[in-house]
Amino acid sequence: MYKKRILSFFLAGIITLSSFSTTSMALSKSDRDYIRELAKEEAANDYNVEYNSLIIVNENSLTSDGLCASGLVGATNGLFMPINEDILSAKKLDDSIKNGKENIKNAYIIGGTKVISDKFKTELEDLGYNCKRLEGKDRVETSFKIADEINELTEVEEYAVARAYKGDADAVNIAFQSRNRKMPIILSKNGKTLNYDTKGKKVYAIGGTAVLSDSLVKNLNAKRLAGKDRFRTNEAIIKHFKETFICPVDGINERLGIAIMASNYGYDQPVLITENSYKGMFIGRRFTSNYFPDDKRSMTLSNLAIHARYGTDKYLDTLHKKTKVKKYDYIFGREEYPITPMRNSKHIKDFEKNYYPFGLYKVVDYEAYWGVDDNFDNRSYYLVNKKNGKMYKYDKKKDAIKLI
C-alpha cells in the first residue's frame, strides 16, 4: 500500500474561474483548525526543508492579502505562515520555528496594521527578525507591492495577471507556478486595465473573458489560460505547464483558504481542484497524496482513485470498458516490472520491449490500494501492445496473455 506521511502535503494550490464572491471565501471553523495545524506542522519541519524567510499573513485575510504571496514565497524561499495574534504570539511563532531547527532572520508581513499589528511586528524585531511590511490600500495595490519586492530580489521574467475580487480564485489557480517560477501575480481591479508595467515580460492571463477582457489580454500580449469553468481552467494550467504529479483538493466547497496553503507548501505536485465524481482529463495520472481535512474526506477521493501510477491516459477508458469494471471503483495504474509477477515470466523481454503493463487497483477507504494487503498474487495484470494498442490479460499460472 502506498506509504505517505501526514507532513507530505507538498502541493500547489490551483483553483479556477472566478464566480466567487468575497463572502464565499470565509473560512469555516474546520478549515481554520486544519490550516492552523498544517502551518504548525510545516513550521516544525522534520523533513529537511530549509527556509530563509517568514511570509506572514492574518489567517482571516488569507484569501485577500495572501492571494498574491506565492511569488514572494518562491523568491525568498519563504515559510508561509497564516497567524491569529489572539492565539499565536510572535514568541510562540519563533519557538515553533526553532523547534524545527530553522535559522530564519527575515520576515515579510503582508497587509496593514488592521490585519497584523505593529505590536506583533515589533515583537518579531525584538526577537531578532528583520521585518518588512508590504501593504496597499486594497488587495490590488498589495499585489503591486509584493511584485515590486520580488523584482528587487530577483530578475522577473514573467507575470501572471488575474482579476481582483471576481477573479480571486484564479490568483490561487496559478499560485503553484507563481511560487516555483518566482513569478509575481498582479491583480486587475476591473478586468479591463492593469496599472502595473509588464512591458517586455511574458504574461499569463488567468481566467476567461468573464474576468479578463480580450482587449486587456491583447494589450498585455498575454497568453490566456482558461476553461469553461474553474475546474477546466485548473486542467488547462496543469496541461500547459506539463505537470506530471497531481494532488487533489476539495473544490466542491470553494475552499480557497486550504488551496492557498497548498500553493505555498507545494514542491512538485500542483493541486487538482475536484468536483464530485471527477471525470476530467487527468484520471490515471500519478496522485501521490491528498489534501482533505478528515471531516471532508468524501467520495471525491474514491472517485479520483488517487494513487494510480504512471497512467497512460489514452488506454484507460478502453481498459475499463473491455474489463467491465467501474472506473471509480477500480482504476488502472502503470506497473513497474520489478514488483509484479510478470518479472519472472519467460516472455519478460518481449513484454518490456513491446507492451505497456497495467495493474488493476481496487479503491478502498478513499485510497487506491496496491491489491489486497499488498498481496500481488491477487491483483489482475494487463498488457497493452505499444504498436497497435491491443489489450491482453496476463495469466500468471500459465505465463501467458489472452486478448481481451
**Is the model's pLDDT at 202 over the cut of 80?**
yes
Averaged pLDDT for residues 300-324: 63
Angle at 147 between CA 162 and CA 214, to 5 degrees: 25
pLDDT of residue 228: 87
pLDDT of residue 377: 56
- In angstroms, the CA 386 to CA 188 distance is 48
Residue 301 zone, left/alpha/beta (φ > 0; ψ -120 to 50; rest) = alpha
Averaged pLDDT for residues 355-384: 65
- In angstroms, the CA 12 to CA 249 distance is 10
**Is the model's pLDDT at 159 over the cut of 70?**
yes
pLDDT of residue 145: 98
* pLDDT-wise least confident of 26-35, 235-244, 285-294: 285-294
- Sequence-distant (≥ 6) Cβ neighbours of residue 259 within 8 angstroms: 13, 14, 15, 172, 175, 249, 251, 271, 273
pLDDT of residue 90: 96
**Is the model's pLDDT at 11 over the cut of 50?**
no
**Is the model's pLDDT at 357 over the cut of 60?**
yes
> Domains of the chain: which residue ranges?
23-275, 313-403
Task: For residue 368, give the nearest of 312, 302, 320, 311 by alpha carbon.
Answer: 302
Averaged pLDDT for residues 130-149: 97
Residue 367: band (very low, low, confident or very high) from pLDDT cuts 50, 70, 90? very low
pLDDT of residue 283: 54
**Is the model's pLDDT at 353 over the cut of 80?**
yes
Residue 219: band (very low, low, confident or very high) from pLDDT cuts 50, 70, 90? very high
**Is the model's pLDDT at 297 over the cut of 90?**
no
Averaged pLDDT for residues 9-15: 27
pLDDT of residue 250: 66
